[in-house]
Chains A and B, each alone.
Chain A
Amino acid sequence: AQSVTQLGSHVSVSEGALVLLRCNYSSSVPPYLFWYVQYPNQGLQLLLKYTSAATLVKGINGFEAEFKKSETSFHLTKPSAHMSDAAEYFCAVSRMDSSYKLIFGSGTRLLVRP
């Protein structure tokens, strides 16, 4: 069975500081991994995805994530937080042999302090 754990339901950073949102996954087969962002009362928007090519993945809005198989992690980072980054972020995993079922983590709400 697959699962996703996002450490920290809330993360608070100052504007201009490093953003680090943690995601660990469990999968018995090679995974696809995703990060999505959700603004209040809206749907989810894809930030980036890992599909077994490069382990360092760059996404939109300056975000990137690194797939580390040995640590079963896919943490999301951004060098400098902006006020507009305040939102909820979801990590998700699916299986390479059955990619229709996407399993989501419980989400991390990012707060950006001025």
Chain B
Amino acid sequence: DGGITQSPKYLFRKEGQNVTLSCEQNLNHDAMYWYRQDPGQGLRLIYYSQIVNDFQKGDIAEGYSVSREKKESFPLTVTSAQKNPTAFYLCASSIEDWSSGANVLTFGAGSRLTVL
């Protein structure tokens, strides 16, 4: 079955450490995304990538970095510069709907990062 795999599901790290969250998709989607979810705040866009070797900052990119070396992979690094990294992180991918032009996102199951 096609889908998006995020790993790890749960991650604990000490303050000041960089951590990398994995996101792999086998849907052959061109675009990939990272969102952060905090209670009561919905989802906020961190980074997105429309094609390989290209990505754009979202609304809350500070303290995060990404790479897009392969179409199916879009890892997110949470750096020590991120002031409040404890959150639920969601990866998504999309393909443009041929009839409307809309990008319809498919989400992974998420990774919960807790910084101690």
User: Residues on A close to B: CB < 8 A?
Assistant: 4, 9, 32, 34, 36, 41-46, 49, 51-53, 90, 94, 96, 99-107
Interface residues of B (CB under 8 A from A): 4, 6, 31, 33, 35, 40-45, 48, 50, 58, 90, 92, 94, 96-97, 99-110, 112
30 contacts between A and B (CB under 8 A): A32-B100, A34-B105, A41-B109, A41-B110, A43-B4, A43-B6, A43-B90, A43-B107, A43-B108, A44-B92, A44-B107, A45-B107, A46-B104, A46-B106, A49-B102, A51-B101, A51-B102, A52-B100, A94-B102, A96-B101, A99-B103, A100-B103, A101-B58, A102-B33, A102-B45, A102-B103, A103-B45, A104-B35, A106-B42, A107-B42
- When C-beta atoms are compared, the residue in chain A nearest to B105 turns out to be A102
A53 to B99, CA, bound (A): 10
Contact B42 A105 (CB under 8 A): yes
User: Are B43's CB and A43's CB within 8 A?
Assistant: no
Whole-angstrom CA separation of A101 from B47 in the bound complex: 10
- Find the B residue at minimum CB distance from A6: B42
Q: Is the CB of A43 within 8 A of B101?
A: no
Say whether A99 contacts B43, CB under 8 Å.
Answer: no
A104 neighbours in B (Cβ, 8 Å)? 35, 42-44
By the criterion CB–CB under 8 Å, are A90 and B43 in contact? yes
Specify which chain A residues have a CB less than 8 angstroms from the CB of B4 in the assembled complex.
43
With a cutoff of 8 Å between Cβ atoms, the chain A residues found around residue B50 in the complex are 100
**B6: which A residues are within 8 A, CB to CB?**
43
**Residues in A neighbouring B96, C-beta threshold 8 A:** 99
